[in-house]
Amino acid sequence: MTVDDEASAIHGGEHIRGLLSLRDLSVDTIEKIVLRSLQFKKGIKSVRYFDKKMATLFFENSTRTQFSFIAAMINLGIVPVQINTSVSSLMKGENLYDTIKTLECIGYDGVIIRHSSDRYYDELAHGSLEIPIFNAGDGKAEHPTQTLLDLVTIYEEYGHFEDIKVCIVGDISHSRVAHGNAEIMKRLGMDVYISGPNEFMDNTASYIPLDEAVTISDIIMLLRVQYERHKEEMKISEAAYHINYGLTKSRAARMKDSAIIMHPAPVNRQIEIANEVVECTKSRIFAQMKNGVFTRMAVISMVLDGEL
């Protein structure tokens, strides 16, 4: 192990301000973020930062996450700036640390980053960054604010987390949402299962057949098939996937009356979920998107106020 590798293993990005991973946060802190999010949503809390500006630095495509962060910044009075990575000095060979240090030096107050590498933020721990970093998704590892907005949606629905049964269905092995959600949900006392094609499964949670899951789960959480992360073609056709592993209209009809449907989106209609089910009465897919803005407002404000 080199000196730099050892430093990364020791620090792991821990001294960087912001929100990099939920795995380092206590259950109490996670619950505090959830409650703060709902305070913003209900209009109980309001705060403005008129002298702040933050940048989004996305190395992967995004609609919901990037523009949700931008909406959150605007709601907080923060000026958002989108950085086009394809025309930045990163294309000249500048490393990520130097790019962020540059943004810090020219007066930015935070950077929201999505990156294709797991734990990309470890390489930032070697320097002296003071600017807060918000992880908008790292490789297949974690998507902290997606997990938080999912928790906000669940808490809003049920008022608690203990003993809630959730089955995460689909492309588990390629999903940062599945990996991040399962770890936190278990810590919050939820019963977590996974389902989907064998080639997409890993040890994230216990496997359960989907036709059983829909009858016992409080939440069916579907995942997008992440074609861009597959090195080889899928072994199953889209039509066969929908029939065998998708939330069809008939499967949705067998769910408990109090059960809900979730999906981080974007949705591949007629693959992981039937078109008629996307906006059915059990669906909370668009409620999740709405909650994402308030959740990111909570995270940004708590970091800026030194509470996170």
Cα distance between residue 216 and residue 254, in whole Å: 10
Give the strand pairing for 18-19 and 260-262. Answer: unpaired
Tokens of 60: 């992967």
Residue 100 confidence (pLDDT): 94
Whether residues 107 and 50 share a domain: the answer is yes
pLDDT of residue 183: 96
Its domain, for residue 204, covers 144-285
Q: State the sign of the Cα–Cα–Cα–Cα dihedral 256, 262, 267, 268.
A: negative
Please indicate, yes or no, whether residues 103 and 117 belong to a single structural domain of this protein: yes
pLDDT beneath 50: ranges in the chain: 1-13, 231
Asked if residue 8 and residue 71 are part of one domain, the reply reads: yes
* Residue pointed to by tokens 């809630």: 164
Q: Where are the extended beta strands (E) located within 234-298?
A: 260-262
Q: Are 291 and 153 in contact (CB under 8 A)?
A: yes
Residues 106 and 148 both lie in one domain: no
User: Do 77 and 154 reside in the same domain of the chain?
Assistant: no
Size of the chain, expressed as the number of residues it contains: 308
Say if residues 143 and 177 touch (Cβ distance below 8 Å). Answer: yes
To 10 degrees, what angle do helices 144-158 and 27-42 make? 70
CATH number of the CATH domain containing 102: 3.40.50.1370
Number of domains comprising the chain:
2
135 and 156 in a single domain? The answer is: no
| 212 and 225 both lie in a single domain | yes
Model pLDDT for residues 133-190, shown as the tens digit of each residue: 999 999 989 999 999 999 999 999 999 999 999 999 999 998 999 999 999 999 999 9
Q: Are residues 119 and 157 in the same domain?
A: no
Cβ-based neighbour number of residue 264 at 10 Å = 25
Where b means 16+ CB within 10 Å and e means fewer, 269-304 reads ebbbbbeebbebebbbbebbbebbbbbbbbbbbbbb
The pLDDT, as a whole number, for residue 84 is 83
The whole-angstrom separation of Cα 130 and Cα 123 is 15
Same domain, 163 and 201: yes
